[in-house]
Structure 1
Amino acid sequence: MRIVIIANGDPPGQDEAARWLEAGAMLICADGGARTALALGLTPAHVIGDFDSLDEDALAELARRGAQLHRHPTRKDETDLELALLFAARTLRDEERPEIVILGACGGRLDHEWANMLLLAMPALKHAHVSLAHGCERVFLIDARDQPATLTLRGSAGDTVSLLPFGGDAHGICTTGLEYPLRDESLFIGPARGVSNVLLGEEATVSLRQGMLLCVIIHHAPTTDNR
């Protein structure tokens, strides 16, 4: 099952939102992301947040359309997107192949954008495949904090792939299908060695023995691969 979350950053286009919502995906909006949904003609199943970015008219329209509104206090420790992700994780707890795609997580305030990427490392999301999608870019986390991990990347020859150590140094990195291979190597916090690798074909793999890697893939040709 796939859950799509629209956050309150740069809004996705109509085609991008429709592509991720195909095949019966559930739509959840984090506070002001619901304004984007309404503008795109979409009705979220759930809207979650303190609603400081939604006026009463928008809330009334969402309720009229059947959206479930989950209001939280303004004074809270979590961001609205974090609350939406925790709700999605609980919803997908018993699913066999859970997937969460976050739209609208980039743009706007830099601190919010960076915090949105940090949310990928939340323990509650470990059982799900979670990604941020922003136009031609997708962002994943490869998490080997508890055990070695492998991620398969899919795209087209020439797509850009960046591997960035996340939360500390990353060790035991092995890649296949990339122009500049890594063979049981480390990437360290500070140097930018992992930026701008290149996909050689339609598929590549990245294995990690210890630590975390933020993987950013930039598709330079249109792709219909939603995995």
Structure 2
Amino acid sequence: MFSIHFGKTICADGGGNQLYEAFEGTDKQQMYIPHYIRGDLDSLRDDVKDFYISKGAEVERDPDQNSTDFMKCIELVRRKERESSVKHEIVALGTFGGRVDQAMSNIHYLYKLKNERRIYLLSDQNMTILLDKGKHQIHCNQAIEGPSCGIIPIGIERAIVTTTGLEWNLTNSSTSFGEMISTSNHLTNDIVMIETDSPILWTVELKI
């Protein structure tokens, strides 16, 4: 499931089941109704579909087997953007914690769409974004973020990285798989500065 533009929500197929089950039997189930459910709908339960339709959700089936349900939802966002001429950032929930190949697919879309929009991947433990090459100032709310964080040079041969605001800062450090990557680092400041010569992942622990 992910959110666009002030709380607009889209469930990717079986994400509708997860949202339904998270609030089943509680008053909150009436509060958290997605605006759309989209995918090939091979996972969405009929009772869940009927419930959300009765509450005003729009359910769209896209049978294309050459795109993931996540990408089908991205296409829906693009379509709505063409209608409104407004570009949205995306917060995607539940993107980690299940199958590794699905998690890697979600990371893949950070790279694939990096020139189009910012996407935030969230689980109940982490928030992950892609930082393109250049200098970045990251504002952290340590009440809900950290202390653990990491800088991951995935999808590239290596990245030269310099940081401030971390317990173990990097200074023109070469990071790559098989050599050195910065994981289990810690926030020491509300502002983290990162400079990189290649796209990297920034991931930070969430306390929610």
Give structure 2 stretches of 5+ with no counterpart: 24-28
1:167: Cα distance to partner?
0.6
SS at structure 2 position matched to 1:195:
strand
Provide the residue aligned with 1:104 in structure 2. Answer: 94
CA distance in 2 between partners of 1:163 and 1:84 (Å):
28
CA contact 2:153–2:181 (8 Å) conserved in 1: no
Number of aligned residue pairs: 196
**Which whole-Å deviations, capped at 9, do the CAs of 1:47-95 have from their partners, x for residues lacking one?**
110001113332222222211112111x511110122133335545744
Whether the 8 Å contact between 2:33 and 2:57 is mirrored in structure 1 is yes
Report if the CA contact (8 A) 2:10-2:37 is conserved: yes
**1:113 equivalenced with 2:103 (yes/no):** yes
- Alpha-carbon distance in structure 2 between the residues aligned to 1:172 and 1:192: 11
Alignment of 1:55-66 (within 5 A): 55-66=45-56
Q: 1:155 aligns to what?
A: 141
CA distance in 2, matches of 1:117, 1:200: 26
Alpha-carbon separation, structure 2, partners of 1:136 and 1:76? 30
8 Å Cα contact 1:169/1:186 also seen in 2: no
1:48 is aligned to: 38
Give the unaligned 5+ runs of structure 1.
7-20, 223-227
Q: Residue 140 of structure 1 aligns with which residue?
A: 129
Instruction: Give the root-mean-square deviation of aligned CA atoms.
Output: 2.6
User: What secondary structure does 2:52 align onto?
Assistant: helix
Q: Given the superposition, is the C-alpha separation of residues 154 and 191 from structure 1 closer, same or farther in structure 2, using an over 3 Å criterion? A: same
Query: Deviations for 1:162-217, whole angstroms, at most 9, x for unmatched residues?
Result: 111021134342211112222233212323431122111222121222x2211111
2:26 corresponds to: none
Match of 1:185 in 2: 173
Q: TM-score, normalised by structure 1?
A: 0.75
CA deviation after TM superposition for structure 1 residue 38, in Å: 2.5
Percent identity for Structure 1 against Structure 2: 26
* 2: CA distance, partners of 1:92 / 1:150: 27
Q: Say if 1:88 and 1:100, in contact at 8 Å, map to a contact too.
A: no
Provide the C-alpha distance between the structure 2 equivalents of 1:32 and 1:138, rounded to a whole number of angstroms. Answer: 21
Q: Which residue of 2 aligns with 1:25?
A: 7
| In 2, Cα distance between equivalents of 1:158 and 1:30 | 28
